[in-house]
Amino acid sequence: MTEKIYIGTKIIAAEPMTEMEFLSEKHNSPNIIMDHPDRPGYHVRYEDGYVSWSPKEVFERCYREVSLSEATLASGWLNTEAWAAWKKEKEPKP
């Protein structure tokens, strides 16, 4: 069998966040001991609602920021419940 080369694409929403911030704020795990608590990275939410954290170097090598119109052209994600939840989470709290 001959290997082929592929490029995968996906539309995500992300915000800068250290690994410790992600673990304590998003997963309610403030007591986790880490070697690099201030390691920069990104809190990432995927189209299906899955949430993860990615180190800055890895994230910036794999993703580039797109405009709202580019994202709309590339995916129907902006009409999903995952996107609505992300937007609601970002709205200022009263």
- Domain ranges within the chain, ordered by starting residue: 12-90
Q: pTM score > 0.95 for this model?
A: no
Predicted confidence band of residue 76 (pLDDT cuts 50, 70, 90):
low
**For range 56-72, the mean pLDDT:** 83
Higher pLDDT, 3 or 60: 60
CB burial of residue 12 (10 Å; 0-12, 13-18, 19+): buried
* pLDDT for res 46: 85
Report pLDDT digits (tens) over 4-58. Answer: 766 777 778 899 999 888 887 766 555 555 667 788 999 998 878 888 889 999 9
Using the structure block, give the residue that is written with the tokens 């608590």. 37
How far, in Å, are 3, 46, 63, 76 from residue 6 at the CA level? 10, 20, 16, 22
Side by side, the strands of the sheet bearing 12-16 are 12-16, 41-46, 51-55
